[in-house]
């Protein structure tokens, strides 16, 4: 194939122009004394079901902090990166934000795998890092603050409630990855304490959409309660196929994961109605802080916003806790900020009052039991305040052991 | 006894859904040697067609009839703009369709958002002894059988099918006889896409319809088609039966994890002993 | 594609490359050094595929698998208090042995090229499933807990300082490319090129075709394993995502974009695609994958032979002679 001289020059010029133009576009206007802060989340790729509301919440939180005067009288300049649901891109973006943009705090990560790809970078270059998402618990790292809800906070309340409400025979369906396994182990612990029995436990790979065999085994086992720890778009198929088999009236479903990925929106009301879940935050929470918060959210992002998720509130909490700590420490120095974060800060979150536990770097949440209603949302049933992340608190004491940088997995 | 019947229905359902999803790619690959890595996204688009038409008040079945038309048109567009230039270049079509798959997922997410209300499973359920089976599963089995028979009839009993098979075996000869092979390829690609769309539409009431729906299927479908080999119908049916049966049987006996590993393992074993795929066992390779 | 004859210019290119690698870290910030190091590691992975595919015509989707096995081997040995240097060697050996095993089954079982591709893909997916299922702490190798989908983290690095590690990764890449080019011009490489063109003829001429294919495939696996160990050292983490369909396709995409057969093309392709992916994510919009996908499609349509061959052909048509 003969390539003409003209073609090569034209193509080369186009490529070169395109590259340099796009490099210039990336630059944001820097004000003289603003504070760079970083956020790494997934706007694209399969994880963006969780990521997109979290990205919105990040912008919402940073703008709110700036509107109320910023931090130390200075505005925050948010630098965001999209990690495309790819762990290695997480590591690279963490590096860029920490080393190149020199952010004062890094927030982000959605899956535990992404957090574990970011933590080595954070540890090596000693940056403060907030992981604002529900996860399996156990991270014990001086530089890391995990503001999401952990299994003890959900299952410690949900399991005894379900055993009392529906019956003592449980069957666990868990997504086959770390969170699913660890949560399933906690289910066994709390079930035993509640005097129940586990008639079956299954781990389902994340890309399974055919639940025939599972549903058949459920019909053989006839549990009172199905404890669902299923995660992701593909696992939504279970709820659909379960309802199609007419089993919704026969077995109750409770879950610590349903709703994180807007399952209640994707399923039709008659398929999901009645499923009981437990989270720190629901869009429907009826307190003054939340009412204003949701109204402001809708004003900013549209009245038809799909659903303000628990992860979004967790992100909001994380940013505000950090901002409070910086103001309290009256400094951006990392060690001083971490010390301020370890003073037992409390914050009036849309979920209720929360407290950052100094020793474990995790948050004491208010959790609420709710069930799926017929309007693609939730109806709150009962609220519990001051539920501690006892799973992590039992093993992690960072004020006594400040040099820890690991994740504990519970041994039962 | 009834446990066995229900298990058997489950296994046949697994086979049927695999064949249904793989049929479109089998035609595209078998007829034109194109590996369309965006096939999963065509399936996803078919599912979304049903979801969106339902959201606008149209009956479920209208949506299902619309899906192959919509996705067939998308396939036509893709063929004209991209695939047409890449015939004979297997790896380049893989690369281009991989890029296309990224674009399609991103486009759907940007336009529709990541969470859209889906469609519930119709038809209710039927009791078999102490067990209940969703009636829709039986519908899927019947629909797959019907579609396979229809497509087989199209390719083996109509004039179009004759020309298409001729173009597959010897494009130059067909051209000499006065028929333009690129047109045949275009129609065949559109047909394969339409089938994928229909498969997605049929699967839509069974699962959560999200933009990344296709990713759960693409590896399985790709493996089924290559294990099946060049013979479109006998190969795909053979591979679908073998792999689908093994995956679901092992899932029923133990857990879905082992089912998946068993399916992948048996694909390896088949390829070891039948490098041209299953169809190589009963057909000369050319 | 005719067998390679090294031109006079090439050793000059090597000298320039060596100098550049030695000097460049002093001109760059710490971040840039660390960033480019991982690009060099990916270049190494791409070159490993080009050795097996571009040179010998053996398309493998398994380079990601050998990469991942190398990474896990490094992580496991380091967690068991082995010195990182030994762990690095172990990663290389792990990749080579795995490739050798797979190659033995494929070539001595006379699988066709297309089915080598599918087989390596299936094996990679099996590894994904298996390693993803190791979340329970009871899955461990000595003191190394495999960690399921979270993988293993806080892996000790080979070298703590960025610049020496940059030199190590860059130096290894340099060594592999130079040796690879020399290999291509040597009789061994010429036989492989002939096998790529017409296997039967080479067999009839009396050469041990299967042995040659096995050798190059094992070598490419070893290099991929080395890249994997370097990656685990770079990031301090390794998880089953390396065994995904996306990662396996990515390696093939790098070589396709850069152009196969020259080794330089593969490295350029990896560098370009990864830099683009990283950059698109950093400017942080929701259009990342859309743009990446569109770029890939336009690329295939406009530059089907890959970047380097098109560029070189363009150079020669402008009037810059290649020799």
From the candidate CATH numbers 3.40.50.300, 3.40.50.2300, 3.90.79.10, 3.30.1540.10, the one assigned to the domain spanning A30-149+281-361+396-412? 3.40.50.2300
Question: Which residue is closest to B120 within chain A, CA to CA?
Answer: A268
Share of chain A above pLDDT 70, in %: 93
Chain A residues in contact with B210 (beta carbon < 8 A): 46, 49, 233, 236, 266
Share of chain B above pLDDT 90, in %: 46
Mean pLDDT check: name the lowest of A9-18, A182-191, A231-240, A308-317. Answer: A9-18
Among C31, C277, C284, select the one facing A95 at the smallest CB separation: C31
Instruction: Assess whether pLDDT exceeds 80 at residue B247.
Output: yes
Chain C residues in contact with B219 (beta carbon < 8 A): 121, 125, 245
| pLDDT at C28 (0 to 100) | 92
How many whole angstroms separate alpha carbon B27 and alpha carbon B98? 19
Chains that touch B (3 or more CB pairs under 8 A): A, C
CB contact under 8 A, C154 and A84: no
Q: Which domain holds residue C188?
A: 14-243
CB contact under 8 A, A99 and C150: no
Give tens-digit pLDDT for C55-91: 998 988 889 999 999 999 999 999 999 899 999 999 9
Q: Residue C236 burial by CB count (10 A; 0-12/13-18/19+): exposed, middle or buried?
A: buried
| pLDDT at A9 (0 to 100) | 42
- Cβ atoms A411, A378 nearer than 8 A: no
CB contact under 8 A, C236 and A120: yes
pLDDT level of residue A6 (50, 70, 90 thresholds): very low
Query: What is chain B's alpha carbon radius of gyration, rounded to the nearest angstrom?
Result: 19
Give tens-digit pLDDT for A345-362: 999 999 999 999 999 999
pLDDT level of residue A30 (50, 70, 90 thresholds): low
Task: Note whether residue B53 is domain-resident.
Answer: yes
For every residue of A62-112, DSSP letters joined together read HHHHHHTT-BTTB-EEEEEEE-TT-HHHHHHHHHIIIIIS--S-EEE--SH
How many whole angstroms separate alpha carbon C49 and alpha carbon C261? 10
Confirm or reject contact between B52 and chain A (CB < 8 A). Answer: no
Among C34, C278, C285, select the one facing A89 at the smallest CB separation: C278
| pLDDT at A290 (0 to 100) | 96
Chain B residues in contact with C121 (beta carbon < 8 A): 219, 222-223
CB contact under 8 A, C287 and B107: no
Instruction: Assess whether pLDDT exceeds 80 at residue C323.
Output: no
Instruction: Assess whether pLDDT exceeds 60 at residue B212.
Output: yes
Residue entry with tokens 């229900």: B6
Task: Note whether residue C193 is domain-resident.
Answer: yes
Q: Which of residues 194-213 of B touch A (CB under 8 A)?
A: 203, 205-210, 212-213
Instruction: Assess whether pLDDT exceeds 60 at residue A174.
Output: yes
CATH classification of the domain holding B165: 1.10.3470
Task: Note whether residue C276 is domain-resident.
Answer: no
Instruction: Assess whether pLDDT exceeds 80 at residue C322.
Output: no
Give tens-digit pLDDT for B142-195: 999 999 999 999 988 999 888 888 888 888 888 888 888 888 899 999 999 999
Using DSSP bridges, classify how beta strands A405-407 and A139-141 pair: parallel, antiparallel or unpaired.
Answer: antiparallel
Chain B residues in contact with C59 (beta carbon < 8 A): 91
Number of domains into which chain B is organized:
1
**Domain assignments of chain A as residue spans, ordered by start:** 30-149+281-361+396-412, 152-279
> Average of pLDDT values for B19-37?
89
Secondary structure (3-state) at C284: coil
How many whole angstroms separate alpha carbon B208 and alpha carbon B118? 7
- Cβ atoms A43, A51 nearer than 8 A: yes
How many whole angstroms separate alpha carbon A264 and alpha carbon A226? 17
Question: Which residue is closest to A177 within chain B, CA to CA?
Answer: B257
Per the structure block, which two tokens stand in for A383?
């609220």
Per the structure block, which two tokens stand in for A40?
């790494």
Give tens-digit pLDDT for B76-122: 999 999 988 888 787 788 889 989 999 999 999 989 888 888 888 88
| Mutation target vs C (from B87, B99, B274; most C CBs, 10 A cutoff) | B99
Phi/psi at C141 (nearest 5 deg)?
-115, 100
Phi/psi at A80 (nearest 5 deg)?
-110, 150
| pLDDT at B67 (0 to 100) | 96
For C55, which DSSP code? I
Q: Which domain holds residue B203?
A: 2-277
Cβ-Cβ contacts under 8 Å for C130 (sequence gap 6 or more): B261
- How far is CA B154 from each of CA A98, A137, A241, B184, C281, rounded to the nearest angstrom? 61, 57, 33, 14, 46
- Cβ atoms B198, B206 nearer than 8 A: no
> Average of pLDDT values for B56-60?
90
Q: Which residue has the higher pLDDT, A33 or A175?
A: A175
Closest among A74, A73, A39 to A59, alpha carbons compared: A39
Q: Do domains A30-149+281-361+396-412 and A152-279 have the same CATH topology?
A: yes
Chain B residues in contact with C299 (beta carbon < 8 A): 95, 99
CB contact under 8 A, C148 and A81: no
Cβ-Cβ contacts under 8 Å for A295 (sequence gap 6 or more): none
- pTM (two decimals): 0.88
> Average of pLDDT values for A305-330?
95
How many whole angstroms separate alpha carbon B50 and alpha carbon C304? 37
Chain B residues in contact with C110 (beta carbon < 8 A): 275
Among C122, C253, C290, select the one facing B223 at the smallest CB separation: C122
Distance of alpha carbon C199 from the chain centroid = 25
Helix (H), strand (E) at residue C195: helix C187-197
CB contact under 8 A, A405 and C289: no
Chain B residues in contact with A180 (beta carbon < 8 A): none
CB contact under 8 A, A86 and C239: no
To 10 degrees, what angle do helices B159-169 and B2-32 make?
60
Per the structure block, which two tokens stand in for C249?
């396709």
Mean pLDDT taken over chain C: 88
> Average of pLDDT values for C300-319?
78
Shortest alpha-carbon distance between residue A13 and chain C (Å): 13
Give tens-digit pLDDT for C22-62: 999 999 999 999 999 999 999 999 999 999 999 998 988 88
Pinpoint the alpha helices (H) of A86-203: 87-95, 112-125, 151-166, 178-193
Shortest alpha-carbon distance between residue A383 and chain C (Å): 32
- Dihedral, CA of residue C111, residue C112, residue C117 and residue C121, to nearest 10: -30
Mean pLDDT taken over chain A: 90
| pLDDT at C116 (0 to 100) | 82
Shortest alpha-carbon distance between residue C233 and chain A (Å): 11
Q: Which of residues 178-197 of B touch A (CB under 8 A)?
A: none
Among A241, A262, A268, select the one facing B134 at the smallest CB separation: A241
> Average of pLDDT values for C3-15?
79
To 10 degrees, what angle do helices B256-273 and B232-253 make?
140
> Average of pLDDT values for A63-80?
94
Closest among A146, A168, A373 to A252, alpha carbons compared: A168
Q: What is the largest CA-CA distance in chain A?
A: 81
Confirm or reject contact between B112 and chain A (CB < 8 A). Answer: no
Chain B residues in contact with A268 (beta carbon < 8 A): 117-120
Instruction: Assess whether pLDDT exceeds 70 at residue C321.
Output: no
Question: Which residue is closest to B215 within chain C, CA to CA?
Answer: C245
Q: What is the CATH number of domain A152-279?
A: 3.40.50.2300
Mean pLDDT taken over chain B: 89
Please count the other Cβ atoms lying within 10 Å of the Cβ belonging to residue A277.
25
Chain A residues in contact with C232 (beta carbon < 8 A): none
Confirm or reject contact between C147 and chain A (CB < 8 A). Answer: yes
CB contact under 8 A, B89 and C126: no
Chain B residues in contact with A308 (beta carbon < 8 A): none
CB contact under 8 A, A240 and B208: yes
How many whole angstroms separate alpha carbon B152 and alpha carbon B148? 6
Chain C residues in contact with B94 (beta carbon < 8 A): 249, 252
Task: Note whether residue B224 is domain-resident.
Answer: yes
CB contact under 8 A, B7 and A216: yes
Q: Per DSSP, what are the bridge partners of residue A364?
A: A355
Spell out the SS3 assignment of chain B.
CHHHHHHHHHHHHHHHHHHHHHHHHHHHHHHHCCCCCCHHHHHHHHHHHHHHHHHCCCCHHHHHHHHHHHHHHHHHHHHHHCHHHHCCCHHHHHHHHHHHHHHHHHHHHHHHCCCCCCCCCCCCEEEECCEEEEHHHHHHHHHHHHHHHHHHHHHHHCHHHHHHHHHHHCHHHHHHCCCCHHHHHHHHHHHHHHHHHHHHHHHHHHCCCCCCHHHHHHHHHHHHHHHHCCCHHHHHHHHHHHHHHHHHHHHHHCCHHHHHHHHHHHHHHHHHHCCCCHHHHCCCCC
Task: Note whether residue B18 is domain-resident.
Answer: yes
Question: Which residue is closest to A236 within chain B, CA to CA?
Answer: B208
Terminal C-alpha separation, chain C:
17
- Cβ atoms A349, A313 nearer than 8 A: yes
- Cβ atoms B241, B224 nearer than 8 A: no
CB contact under 8 A, A100 and C289: no
Question: Which residue is closest to A49 within chain B, CA to CA?
Answer: B114
Helix (H), strand (E) at residue A352: strand A352-356
Mean pLDDT check: name the lowest of B184-188, B249-253, C317-321. Answer: C317-321
Confirm or reject contact between C153 and chain A (CB < 8 A). Answer: yes
Residue entry with tokens 């006894």: B1
Q: Per DSSP, what are the bridge partners of residue B125?
A: B134
Per the structure block, which two tokens stand in for A112?
């535990």
| pLDDT at A412 (0 to 100) | 73
Task: Note whether residue C103 is domain-resident.
Answer: yes
């Amino acid at each position: 194939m003969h390539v003409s001289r003209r073609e090569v020059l034209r193509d080369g010029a186009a490529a070169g122009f395109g590259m340099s133009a796009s490099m210039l576009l990336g630059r944001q206007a820097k004000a003289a004394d603003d504070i760079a802060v970083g956020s790494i989340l997934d706007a694209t790729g399969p994880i963006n079901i969780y990521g997109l509301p979290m990205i919105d919440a990040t912008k919402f939180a940073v703008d709110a902090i700036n509107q109320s005067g910023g931090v130390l009288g200075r505005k925050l300049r948010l630098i965001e990166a999209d990690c495309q649901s790819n762990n290695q891109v997480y590591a690279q973006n963490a590096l860029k934000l920490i080393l190149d943009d020199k952010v004062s705090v890094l927030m982000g990560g959605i899956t535990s795998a992404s957090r574990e790809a970011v933590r080595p970078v954070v540890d090596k270059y000693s940056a403060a890092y907030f992981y604002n998402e529900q996860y399996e618990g156990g991270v014990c790292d001086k530089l890391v603050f995990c503001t999401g809800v952990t299994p003890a906070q959900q299952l410690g309340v949900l399991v005894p409630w379900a055993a009392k409400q529906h019956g003592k025979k449980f069957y666990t369906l868990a997504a086959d990855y770390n969170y699913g396994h660890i949560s399933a182990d906690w289910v066994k612990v709390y079930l035993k304490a509640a005097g129940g029995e586990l008639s079956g436990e299954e781990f389902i790979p994340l890309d399974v959409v055919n639940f025939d065999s599972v549903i058949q085994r459920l019909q053989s086992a006839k549990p009172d309660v199905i404890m669902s720890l299923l995660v992701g778009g593909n696992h939504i198929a279970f709820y659909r196929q379960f309802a199609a088999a007419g089993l919704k009236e026969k077995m109750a479903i409770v879950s610590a994961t349903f709703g994180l990925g807007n399952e209640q929106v994707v399923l039709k009301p008659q398929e999901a109605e009645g499923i009981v879940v437990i989270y720190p935050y629901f869009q429907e929470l009826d307190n003054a802080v939340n009412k204003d918060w949701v109204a402001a959210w809708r004003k900013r992002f549209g009245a038809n916003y799909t659903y303000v998720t628990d992860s979004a509130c967790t992100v909001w909490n994380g940013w505000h806790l950090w901002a409070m700590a910086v103001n309290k420490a009256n400094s951006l120095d990392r060690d001083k900020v971490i010390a301020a974060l370890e003073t037992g800060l409390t914050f009036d979150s849309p979920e209720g009052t929360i407290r950052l536990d100094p020793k474990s770097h995790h948050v004491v949440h208010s959790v609420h039991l709710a069930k799926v209603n017929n309007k693609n949302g939730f109806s709150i049933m009962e609220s519990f305040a001051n539920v501690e992340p006892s799973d992590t608190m039992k093993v992690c004491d960072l004020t006594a052991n400040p040099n820890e940088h690991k994740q504990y997995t519970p041994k039962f | 006894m009834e446990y066995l019947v229900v298990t058997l229905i489950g296994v046949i359902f697994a086979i049927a859904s695999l064949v249904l999803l793989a049929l479109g790619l089998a035609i595209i690959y078998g007829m034109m040697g194109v590996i369309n890595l965006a096939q999963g996204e065509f399936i996803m688009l078919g599912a979304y067609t049903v979801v969106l038409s339902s959201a606008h008040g149209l009956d479920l079945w209208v949506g299902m009839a619309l899906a192959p038309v919509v996705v067939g048109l998308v396939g036509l567009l893709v063929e004209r703009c991209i695939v047409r230039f890449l015939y004979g270049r297997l790896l380049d079509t893989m690369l281009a369709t991989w890029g296309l798959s990224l674009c399609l997922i991103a486009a759907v997410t940007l336009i529709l958002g990541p969470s859209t209300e889906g469609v519930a499973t119709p038809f209710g359920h039927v009791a078999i002894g102490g067990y209940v089976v969703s009636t829709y599963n039986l519908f899927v089995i019947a629909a797959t059988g019907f579609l396979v028979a229809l497509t087989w009839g199209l390719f083996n009993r109509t004039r179009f099918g004759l020309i298409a098979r001729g173009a597959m075996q010897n494009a130059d000869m067909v051209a000499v006889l006065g028929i333009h092979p690129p047109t045949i390829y275009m129609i065949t690609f559109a047909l394969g896409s339409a089938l994928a769309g229909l498969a997605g539409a049929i699967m839509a009431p069974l699962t959560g319809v999200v933009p990344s729906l296709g990713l759960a299927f693409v590896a399985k479908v790709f493996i089924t088609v290559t294990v099946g080999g060049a013979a479109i119908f006998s190969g795909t049916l053979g591979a679908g039966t073998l792999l689908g049966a093994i995956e679901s049987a092992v899932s029923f006996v133990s857990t879905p994890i082992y089912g998946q590993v068993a399916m992948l393992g048996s694909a390896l074993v088949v390829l070891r002993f039948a490098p041209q795929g299953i169809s190589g066992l009963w057909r000369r390779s050319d | 594609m005719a067998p390679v004859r090294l031109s006079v210019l090439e050793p000059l290119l090597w000298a320039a490359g060596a100098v550049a690698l030695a000097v460049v870290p002093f001109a760059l910030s710490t971040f840039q050094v660390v960033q480019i190091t991982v690009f060099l590691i990916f270049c190494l992975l791409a070159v490993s595929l080009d050795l097996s595919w571009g040179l010998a015509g053996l398309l493998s989707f398994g380079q990601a698998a050998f990469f991942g096995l190398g990474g896990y081997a490094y992580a496991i040995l380091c967690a068991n208090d082995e010195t990182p240097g030994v762990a690095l060697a172990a990663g290389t050996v792990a990749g080579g042995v795995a490739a050798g095993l797979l190659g033995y089954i494929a070539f001595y079982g006379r699988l066709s090229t297309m089915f080598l591709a599918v087989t390596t893909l299936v094996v990679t997916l099996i590894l994904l499933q298996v390693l993803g299922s190791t979340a329970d702490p009871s899955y461990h190798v000595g003191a190394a807990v495999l960690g399921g989908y979270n993988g293993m983290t806080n892996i000790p690095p080979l070298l703590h300082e960025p610049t020496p590690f940059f030199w190590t990764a860059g130096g290894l890449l340099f060594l592999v490319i130079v040796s690879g080019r020399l290999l291509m011009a040597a009789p061994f490489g010429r036989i492989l090129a002939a096998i790529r063109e017409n296997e039967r003829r080479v067999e009839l001429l009396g050469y041990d075709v299967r042995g040659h294919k096995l050798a190059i495939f094992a070598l490419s696996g070893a290099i991929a394993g080395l890249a994997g160990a370097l990656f685990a050292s770079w990031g301090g983490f390794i998880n089953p995502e390396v065994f995904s369909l996306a990662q396996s396709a990515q390696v093939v995409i790098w070589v396709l974009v850069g152009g196969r057969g020259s080794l330089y093309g593969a490295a350029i392709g990896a560098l370009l695609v990864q830099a683009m992916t990283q950059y698109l994510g950093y400017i942080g919009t929701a259009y990342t994958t859309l743009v990446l996908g569109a770029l890939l499609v336009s690329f295939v349509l406009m530059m089907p032979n890959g970047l380097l061959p098109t560029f070189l052909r363009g150079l020669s048509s402008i009037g810059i002679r290649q020799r």
